[in-house]
């Protein structure tokens, strides 16, 4: 939204240079410029000549694991297969935008893109992805059966076909300071309930100067606050929508869960909760400002890394529950192939390499075992080298992922897959708007029922559109 200046001439200003008459060259250039822009063939920087028989364009999110992949590609993939890989690496929001533009028009600019388990079923239903199941079955070295079942299932669309292969996966669990609990004479139950966690948070609040009981995300966003909150809602017996598309956001169960979440944060949560997301909680945990943290399993890798002050002092418990057997979420970044891509074979070769067992070992040996894109293969958790490095949280992570049930995460049947989200295109907007309301309840600007009544209206709008279909 830049203001444009309607080229006003300034009186009293004499142009010192008489404008020269332009020759035909200038006109041609101008015409070409217009023609190009009207042609609308805008190509991003990623389009670096996709003519070669063995060049593929890959669009991916700018997470550290992907950046490592980019570094290792030339030496370990292109040299072996002769397939050149052009990467376009973008932040998550930009990635989703570019990806949906390219895939929805089936422009074929990108052969492979990194999708999460949120987009994969949606894209597959729109007919934008190539099914990968048969290729995976034929490719013996890939070992499809080695993939953890929930991860594999979350990348399977409604038609029962696999449309993406995981690069790494994560769930959620409870991280807690073993030393602080021991000093306070408390023990963490092997399978804690949320009520027990709340009681522990109350006792641990102030266990050391400046230490709060628990860190939970409060920053608005469907990928921030809405994720842990939804996993709590599930286990309290709530849901966003019923099977037949009735919005249930201000139902008693959803309200009880939100009240619990907001109350726990307001009483014993970290300081600055309404702006605290994953990064802030990680900092708080590392700085000893909180005794417990419920968040993504990926957080453990950072807590146990060499430069972390709390390495070795953290214990891991399954995601707390109330009415369900488990409540950990499931998230994975995976590779999908665009249906319109003319390099299907080369694309599969790339996926087979990047998501294969060999690549995990390669990263472990070349860059360090903490950088392995884990959480997708059973074999990773049998690898002695990996276990030696990540033993503290490896088993807890694997259990969290394998007990996740993306198709049935609550106490009632769901209309769409997803644990910490609802697998419909509208959820990114709905979840974000609702998380804004809940975040403002955490800040004490409105009550939980007020926040959820507003949210219910938003959810009803979405539900109406689906009930008609």
Partner 1 sequence: MLPALVFLIVVTQLPFVATVVISFVRWNALAPENRGFAAFDNYKAVFTDPALRSAIWTTVLLTVTVVLVSLVLGLGLALLLDRKFKGRGIVRTMLITPFLVVPVAAALLWKHALYNASYGLINGSLTWIWKLFGSADPPQPDWMTASPLAAVEVALIWQWTPFMMLILLAGLQSRPADAVEAARVDGASTWDVFRYLTLPHLRRYLELAALLGTVYVVQNFDAVFTITSGGLGTGNLPYTIYQTFYQAHDYGRASAQGVVVVVCSLLVATFALRTVSSLLREEVTR
Which residues sit at the interface with partner 1, rule CB under 8 A? 1-6, 8, 10-13, 19, 22, 26-27, 29-30, 33-34, 37, 93, 96-97, 100-101, 104, 122, 126, 209-210, 212, 219-222, 224, 270-275, 277, 280, 283-284, 287, 289, 425-426, 428-429, 432-433, 436, 439-440, 443-445
412: DSSP letter? S
Centre a 10 Å sphere on the Cβ of residue 50 and count the other Cβ atoms it contains: 18
226-235 vs 252-268: helix crossing angle, rounded to 10: 120
**Nearest Cα to 445, choosing from 248, 274, 227, 325?**
274
Min dist. Cβ of residue 259 to partner 1 (A): 19
Min dist. Cβ of residue 18 to partner 1 (A): 10
Q: Of 12 and 306, which has the nearer Cβ to partner 1?
A: 12
Sign of CA dihedral 38, 41, 44, 47: negative
Q: Of 348 and 421, which has the nearer Cβ to partner 1?
A: 421
223: DSSP letter? T
Q: Are the C-beta atoms of residues 144 and 137 closer than 8 Å to each other? A: yes
382: DSSP letter? G
The position carrying tokens 């449309």 is 163
Min dist. Cβ of residue 260 to partner 1 (A): 20
Cα–Cα distance measured from residue 49 to residue 56, given in angstroms and rounded to the nearest whole number? 9
Cβ neighbours for 446, distance < 8 A, ≥ 6 positions apart: 437, 440
Cα–Cα distance measured from residue 149 to residue 169, given in angstroms and rounded to the nearest whole number? 11
Q: Of 265 and 363, which has the nearer Cβ to partner 1?
A: 265
Min dist. Cβ of residue 20 to partner 1 (A): 9
Lookup: tokens for 300: 């453990």
Q: Of 126 and 246, which has the nearer Cβ to partner 1?
A: 126
Q: Of 5 and 140, which has the nearer Cβ to partner 1?
A: 5
**Nearest Cα to 115, choosing from 177, 161, 168, 76?**
168
Lookup: tokens for 187: 């023990």
Q: Of 25 and 45, which has the nearer Cβ to partner 1?
A: 25
Min dist. Cβ of residue 9 to partner 1 (A): 9
Cα–Cα distance measured from residue 391 to residue 365, given in angstroms and rounded to the nearest whole number? 17
Query: Where does 292-426 have alpha helices with state H?
Result: 298-303, 344-354, 357-366, 384-402
Cα–Cα distance measured from residue 221 to residue 459, given in angstroms and rounded to the nearest whole number? 16
3-state secondary structure of 59: strand
77: DSSP letter? I
The position carrying tokens 């606050």 is 225
Min dist. Cβ of residue 29 to partner 1 (A): 6
Min dist. Cβ of residue 254 to partner 1 (A): 20
Q: Of 364 and 418, which has the nearer Cβ to partner 1?
A: 418
- The string over 285-317, giving b where at least 16 C-beta atoms fall within 10 Å of a residue's C-beta and e elsewhere, is bbebbbbbbbbbbbbbbbbbeeebebeebbbbb
3-state secondary structure of 297: coil
For 327, phi then psi, to 5°, come to -140, 10
Min dist. Cβ of residue 436 to partner 1 (A): 5
Q: Of 138 and 445, which has the nearer Cβ to partner 1?
A: 445
Lookup: tokens for 231: 């996993």
Q: Are the C-beta atoms of residues 132 and 352 closer than 8 Å to each other? A: no
């Amino acid at each position: 939204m830049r203001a444009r200046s309607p080229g006003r001439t300034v009186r009293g200003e004499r142009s010192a240079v008489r404008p020269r008459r332009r020759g035909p060259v200038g006109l041609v250039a101008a015409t070409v410029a217009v023609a190009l822009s009207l042609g609308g063939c805008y190509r991003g920087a990623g389009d670096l000549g996709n003519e070669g028989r063995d060049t593929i364009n890959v669009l991916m999110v700018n997470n550290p694991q992907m950046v490592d992949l980019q570094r290792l590609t030339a030496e370990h993939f292109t040299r072996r297969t002769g397939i050149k890989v052009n990467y376009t690496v973008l932040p998550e929001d930009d990635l989703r935008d570019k990806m949906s533009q390219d895939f929805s028009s089936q422009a074929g600019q990108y052969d492979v893109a990194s999708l999460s388990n949120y987009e994969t079923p949606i894209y597959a239903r729109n007919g934008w992805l190539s099914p990968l199941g048969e290729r995976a079955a034929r490719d013996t070295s890939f070992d499809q059966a080695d993939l953890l079942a929930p991860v594999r299932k979350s990348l399977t669309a409604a038609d029962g076909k696999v449309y993406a292969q995981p690069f790494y996966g994560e769930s959620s669990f409870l991280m807690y300071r073993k030393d602080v609990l021991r000093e306070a004479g408390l023990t963490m139950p092997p399978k804690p309930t949320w009520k027990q966690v709340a009681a522990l948070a109350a006792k641990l609040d102030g266990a050391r100067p400046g230490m709060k009981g628990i860190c939970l995300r409060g920053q608005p966003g469907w990928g921030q606050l809405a994720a842990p909150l939804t996993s709590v809602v599930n286990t309290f017996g709530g849901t966003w929508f019923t099977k037949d598309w009735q919005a249930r956001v201000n139902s008693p169960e959803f309200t009880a869960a939100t009240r619990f979440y907001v109350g726990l944060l307001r009483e014993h949560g970290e300081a600055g909760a309404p702006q605290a997301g994953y990064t802030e909680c990680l900092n708080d945990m590392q700085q000893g400002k909180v005794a417990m943290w419920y968040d993504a399993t990926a957080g453990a890798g950072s807590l146990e890394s060499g430069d972390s002050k709390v390495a070795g002092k953290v214990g891991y418990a399954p995601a707390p529950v109330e009415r369900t057997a488990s409540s950990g979420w499931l998230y994975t970044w995976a590779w999908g192939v665009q249906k319109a891509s003319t390099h299907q074979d080369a694309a599969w070769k790339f996926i087979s390499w990047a998501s294969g067992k060999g690549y995990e070992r390669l990263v472990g040996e070349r860059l360090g075992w903490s950088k392995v894109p884990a959480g997708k293969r059973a074999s990773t958790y049998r690898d002695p080298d990996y276990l030696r490095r990540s033993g503290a949280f490896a088993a807890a992570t694997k259990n969290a992922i394998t007990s996740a049930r993306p198709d049935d995460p609550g106490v009632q049947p769901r209309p769409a897959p997803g644990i910490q989200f609802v697998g419909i295109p509208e959820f990114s907007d709905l979840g974000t708007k609702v998380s804004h309301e809940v975040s403002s309840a955490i800040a004490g600007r409105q009550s939980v029922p007020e926040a959820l009544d507003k949210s219910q209206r938003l959810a009803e709008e979405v539900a109406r559109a689906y009930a008609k279909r």
